[in-house]
Structures are given as structure tokens and as C-alpha cells.
Amino acid sequence: MSEASTIFDKIIAREIPADIVYENDDCLAFHDIQPQAPVHVLVIPKRRIENVASLQDGDSEIAGKLLLAVGHVARQLNLAETGYRVVANCGADGGQSVDHLHLHVLGGRQMKWPPG
Ligand code: 5GP
């Protein structure tokens, strides 16, 4: 693995607890510890990838699987009909604080635009 270890590796390894809502061979989804909406779930690849900017051409499969996992989570948590927001913070200006690729799934309230 090329990128530095993060807290998400510990969640994947079950070394620290997380409220997991969905899992498959490649992805894990769990509730954010500081929710910004009534539903706030993080969808991550189990393989360590730093962020959107570090995705390579060979990562198209895992990138697609992450989006499909978002759909699973949204249906499971009854967000699919009312709608929800998917956010990927990337790098310093993007507000990324954990250097392990993750998609925020936010729902259960009306989202505003533009984001802060
Ligand atoms: P970022 O700011 O990198 O886009 O998002 C990282 C997210 O991870 C934040 O929303 C933060 O609340 C969440 N987070 C950080 N540490 C933990 C943790 O130990 N457990 C869980 N469930 N979420 C975490």
C-alpha cells in the first residue's frame, strides 16, 4: 500500500468501533462520528487510496463499486426517494481531513447550495 495509514484502516480492521451499515468485498460504509445531517454515512474502499485525485486509470472498477455502494446505502437508509447528497472532499482546499478516499452520503434534510 502506498499511502499512509489512517483511522479508517483501523475501522476496516475492526480495531476501533464504527456503526457499520453496509459492507461488501471491496467497500465499507459506516455512520460519520460527527454527523452533519440526520443521515451521514461514509463509504470507503477497503483498499487504501488517498483521495479522488490519486485515483489511477486502473482504479475504474473500485471507483464504480464505491458509487454502487452509495446506492445500496441510500436505499437501505430510505434516502433514495427523498434524495441525498454525495460529497468527496479532496485535499486541503477541499476540506479533506482523513487521507483515505471516502464518499459522504448526507440525507434526511434539505441540502443547501453552494456548500461552505
Ligand atoms: P473529510 O473531512 O476528510 O471529508 O471527512 C472525514 C470524516 O470522517 C469527517 O466527517 C469525520 O467526522 C469522520 N471521522 C473522523 N474520524 C472518524 C472515526 O473515528 N469514526 C467515524 N465514524 N468517523 C470519523
Q: Could you write out the DSSP letters of every residue in 54-84? A: G--GGGHHHHHHHHHHHHHHHHHTT-TTT-E
Distance separating alpha carbons of residues 97 and 90, to the nearest angstrom: 9
The verdict on residue 91 lying in a domain is yes
The preferred substitution site among 9, 20, 32 for testing ligand 1, maximizing ligand atoms within 8 Å of CB, is 32
Q: Are 54 and 102 in contact (CB under 8 A)?
A: no
The verdict on residue 97 lying in a domain is yes
pLDDT interval class at 57 (50, 70, 90)? very high
How do residues 12-49 score in pLDDT, each as one tens digit? 999 999 999 999 999 999 999 999 999 999 999 999 99
Q: Are 30 and 75 in contact (CB under 8 A)?
A: no
Per-residue confidence (pLDDT) for residue 116, from 0 to 100: 87
Domain holding 51: CATH number?
A: 3.30.428.10
Domain span at residue 81?
7-107
Q: 98 C-alpha to center of ligand 1: Å? A: 7
Total domains, the chain: 1
Distance separating alpha carbons of residues 4 and 9, to the nearest angstrom: 10
Q: Which of 40, 100, 102, 104 is catalytic?
A: 102
The verdict on residue 113 lying in a domain is no
The verdict on residue 116 lying in a domain is no
pLDDT interval class at 100 (50, 70, 90)? very high
